[in-house]
Amino acid sequence: MGRPIVYGPAGSTYVWSARLALAEKGVAHELIDVEFGAHRAEPHLSRHPFAKVPAFEHDGFALYETQAILRYIDEGFASSPLQPTDLHQFARMNQIIGIVDAYAWPSIAAGIVFNRMLAPRLGLPVDEAAITAALPRARLCLSEFARLMGDDPFLAGERISLADLMVVPLLYYFSRVPEGEAPLAEHPGLQSWLRRMEQRQSFQVTKPPGL
């Protein structure tokens, strides 16, 4: 089997999740950068007609949507399963992934981190109102992640799962902006989970440059 290709900028949270899954499985991959703006033009539109990143390719099989990519990676490569077999843990993992897509990415990434971190770097105006509006939802996401994790070492049980890989880029970025400090401090269990995730080799080898 050939090396999978991930298309997108290393700094994108969803691109990072896909690369984390490959690293957790011990699968070498190629990252083909797609600069901000280039994702709305060819050749990227042929890979992802909705003009998002990541796109993914493996042995001529093309895929987009991070959840599908993560599940392909987990099912397609044998080592270290990233989906629990226990029904309740499996459901928790899927619930957390759903929270990421529906609530955490829009508030933490699009509302707060984009404006506080990325907009200044791109020379775009910082939408303070969007940051303020996103904070209550971001806090709720954190308290739900903490509640669902309970006393387990990982978000969906005693082993790392796709849920951890979807959440860690978001919480890592959130921990790097001033707005994240107080909400994270309210959840020491989540903070120590984040520290443990940061120590994993998968995190170290996929961490976007400049972070």
Instruction: Work out how close the CB of 34 gets to ligand GSH at its nearest, in angstroms, rounded to a whole number.
Output: 9
Residues 108-167 that bind ligand GSH (CB under 6 A): none
Nearest distance, CB of residue 12 and ligand GSH, angstroms: 4
Count of alpha carbons within 13 angstroms of residue 15, beta-carbon side: 24
Burial class, 191, CB count within 10 angstroms (exposed 0-12 / middle 13-18 / buried 19+): middle
Which residue lies nearer to ligand GSH by CB, 65 or 198? 65
Nearest alpha carbon to residue 152 among 203, 105, 84: 84
Written as six digits, the tokens of 21 are 């899954």
Supply the minimum distance, in Å, between the C-beta of residue 17 and ligand GSH.
Answer: 9
Residues 64-93 that bind ligand GSH (CB under 6 A): 65-66
Cβ atoms of residues 145 and 96 within 8 Å: yes
Phi and psi angles of residue 142, each rounded to the nearest 5 degrees, phi first: -60, -45
Quote the least distance from Cβ 189 to ligand GSH, whole Å: 26
CA distance 174 to 182: 11
Give the contacts of 44 (CB within 8 A, at least 6 positions apart).
7, 34, 38, 51, 53, 55
Looking at beta carbons only, is 39 or 92 nearer to ligand GSH? 39
52 binds ligand GSH (CB under 6 A): yes
Stretch that binds ligand GSH, among 6-14, 89-97, 159-167, 178-186 (CB under 6 A): 6-14
- Of 58 and 187, nearer to ligand GSH (C-beta) is 58
β-pair type (61-64, 30-32): unpaired
| Residue of the chain from 53, 138, 171, 194 that contacts ligand GSH (CB under 6 A) | 53
Contact positions vs ligand GSH (CB under 6 A): 12-14, 39, 51-53, 65-66
